[in-house]
A and B are shown apart, each in its own frame.
Chain A
Amino acid sequence: MQLGTPVRPPNGGRRAPLLGMRGRRALLPWVLLVAPLGVIGLLLLFPIGRIVWLSFRDFKLRNLVSGESEFIGLDNYVRLLTDPYLWQVVLVNTVVFAVVAVVATVVLGTLVALLLANLKPVTRIIVVSCIMVAWAMPAVSGTYVWIWIFDVDHGVVAQALKALGLIEPAGYNWFADRFWFYAIVTLNIVHSGFPFVAVTVLAGLLTVPKELHEAARIDGAGAWKRFWHVTFPTLRPVFAVVTVLSTIWDFKVFAQIYLMPGGDVGGSQMLNLGVWAYVRSFGQNDFGTGSAIAAMLTLLLLGVTVVYLRALFREDELR
């Protein structure tokens, strides 16, 4: 309706009501946003709504066939939250792993970015191209390479450790040990995640005015102090973005765990929330409980993200 009102130049049409123009102004962004919002709604909001709906229902294979299911309120959530498996295995795996992986990814990525910033342009291009290979590697291929490197009998690592006499000739099955299992997953994730941090931080580093560094240097600040007092404050928004994104990615790691030996078995010590949701839904055909796990993971991630954003931005920066 409002779109149909004739457009008048702001200074010429005195008779045009002020409200109409304001209304048009308010409406224009929405007209432009219709397409993206429609796509987001279809691809994101609809599945999320469906998952929330499923999580309140008793929904098994039988319900999938008949299409009828029963509303059971919070039963799925209550059952999950009272399951020691959640607290002792899945949540610990998810949170501890994510914390370690995010810290390692951001620290390593930043160090590499600092290195890149000090390289000559040609060398920089070469190094960036090399680390991009790690980033470009699909998760599935990357994971199989890591599994192969750590093969218990014939892997490079096992052979090296045996040759050095650090483990017995019979070998050691690290895939069966929760700590080592996740150590390998962490290596995999950090390896594939640090290039993004490095490149993003590098882009930020190149925008830090040289004068700030020079001034700090004249004041007698070393490299360490210059990083914390000049670089870090300037790049805080960049660090906020890479940390939040890494956190979200590392909380919902799937393929890198699911494909590892023992990572796809329900009831094993190696599952995280994402894999558990999948195994519950498609392994055990318990779609209601699986959806409840997925919903909890989403809530957890939203919570973590809000806390991060509040901590990383001051109140006035958020506006």
Chain B
Amino acid sequence: MARRRVHEYVTLPAATLSLVLAATACGGGGDGGGDGGTTDTLQVWIMEGTNPDATAFFDEVNAAYTEETGIEAEVEFVPWADAQDKISTAIAGGTTPDVIELGTTFTPEFADAGALHDLSGYIDDPSRFHQEMYEMGVIDDAAYGVPWYASIRSIIYRKDIFEEHGQEEPTSWDELRETALDLAEAEEDMIGFPVPGQAQYSVMPWIWGGGGEVAVQEADGTWTSTINSPEGRAGVEFFTDLALEDDLSTTGAVNWNEIDVMETLADEQSIMAISNSSNPKAIIESNPDLEGKLGVFTLPGQDGGYMDSFAGGSLLSVFEGTGNEEAGWQYVDLLTNGEFFERWGEESGFFPAGVDEIQAYADSGDPLVEPFAVQLLEAGRTTPVVPAWSQVEAEGIIVGMHQDILNGNATVEEATDSAAEAIENILNEGS
């Protein structure tokens, strides 16, 4: 009897408590806009892992900034994998930093959501930045980000193996395929040309190279994807056939991302692979034996010339409503102008995202840098500038299409049709 009474009483206050909490939860929704940052210290979030010695670099930047403005700055390093969660929760909790590094593909979404401050009034000369990257931060003439550093994908190859078997750098798709086939036959234990399944930026160049578009905006504002046009399909088919028909890749490569591909180069498993411009440095660091044995060539066009490649990298943005927007801009300007702009590039292995700066690398004659710089200037592209694009990435549309083909779950026709349809649905629903 006594026990029953206790049970009856438990529910009522607990239920009341939960109701009260639910009610206060409603009240708590209003203060999401970040107004928590007005302190004496400028808060800066930088992505982790770009520069191995980032701490020392930012100690110097902060010292220079304090000397110039009298404001203390504090840098926090954020892992890429956590970035999106961390920013979202910071916005919800009103604890956003003042300045943030955002990957190019993130910028349109956060800008569109109203989280970022318009910097167009501060930027003197937008033309000094890599234009495709600058455009990533522009929505309706407002500039929500300043290009900071860039990276691009070209092909890293084993120069020693090419020379041993008398092969030249290929200049067209057919030559690329022939070269890979010959070398894979000559070097039986090595992978001729890995076709990774979890690396959408290794797939996009082939769509563009064949003549398709991931997504373009029509005159009436709607988005169209021509991945499933004959041209787009030709590119996707050529790339996937390197694995499926020519057996130049491995079955496990379907689960590889760009880092995994880089590791096969570092482990001397691959003869050549689509790689990021920051990779040569990392490969040689992890396997010093490869010093002098690596080469780079730009992605060959279908019938020669260049094939467009995905240019990634980061923009620096200033959060809206922190009360520190002016100070934030000064910090951004310090990083994207002059000494620190160039030094970050030298130390990190990425390109400073300025036209003159990249041109200097394109004229440098360094065989592991020059082709990447040329690719970036001549044939570097970004993803479509539309806020909903990040949903296409989150849904893994291109990855899914590519994997379905590689796993034999769909033909090129079926997979490209459903990918194009999904992309159009997502992009047109948002606008």
Q: Give me the interface of A with B, judged by CB distance under 8 Å.
A: 26, 29-30, 37, 41, 45-46, 48-50, 52-53, 60-69, 151-154, 158, 170-173, 175-176, 261-262, 265-268, 279, 282-285, 319
Contacts and interface: CB of A to CB of B under 8 A. Distances in A.
Given A30-B13, A61-B88, A282-B85, 7 more contacts: A46-B21, A65-B115, A67-B32, A151-B252, A153-B251, A284-B394, A285-B113
Contacts of A171: 250-252
Interface in B58-104: 84-85, 88, 91-92
B109 interface: yes
A45 B21 contact: yes
Contacts, number: 133
Contact of B255 (A53, A152, A268): A152
B367 to A, nearest CB: 30
B29 interface: yes
Contacts of B6: 29
A26 B115 contact: no
A13 to B, nearest CB: 22
A41 B18 contact: yes
B276 interface: no
Contacts of B18: 41, 45, 48-49
B30 A68 contact: yes
Contact of B403 (A50, A60, A62, A262): A262
Contacts of B320: 65
Nearest to B14: A37
A-B pairs, top 4 by smallest CB distance, nearest first, are A152-B252, A265-B396, A49-B22, A153-B252
A178 to B, nearest CB: 11
Given A48-B18, A66-B33, A171-B251, A61 B113 contact: yes
A53 B25 CA distance: 8
Most buried by B among A61, A158, A284: A61
B403 A176 contact: yes
Interface in B19-75: 21-22, 24-26, 28-34
Contacts of B114: 62, 65-66
B17 interface: yes
Given A261-B255, A319-B4, A285 B115 contact: no
Interface in B106-135: 109-110, 112-115
A68 B4 CA distance: 45
A67 B255 contact: no
Nearest to B17: A41
Nearest to B26: A53
30 contacts: A29-B6, A37-B13, A45-B14, A46-B24, A46-B25, A49-B18, A49-B22, A49-B25, A50-B25, A53-B29, A61-B91, A64-B88, A65-B32, A66-B114, A67-B29, A67-B33, A68-B29, A69-B29, A153-B251, A153-B253, A171-B251, A173-B252, A176-B409, A262-B403, A265-B395, A284-B390, A284-B394, A285-B113, A319-B3, A319-B4
A57 to B, nearest CB: 8
A45 B17 contact: yes
B271 interface: no
A37 B397 CA distance: 45
Contacts of A285: 84, 88, 109, 113, 390-391
A214 to B, nearest CB: 35
Given A37-B14, A152-B252, A261-B198, A67 B30 contact: yes
B150 to A, nearest CB: 25
A65 B115 CA distance: 6
B407 interface: yes
B251 A66 contact: no
Contacts of A69: 29
Interface string B365-403: 000000000000000000000000011001111011001
A37 B3 CA distance: 19
Contacts of B391: 284-285
B106 to A, nearest CB: 11
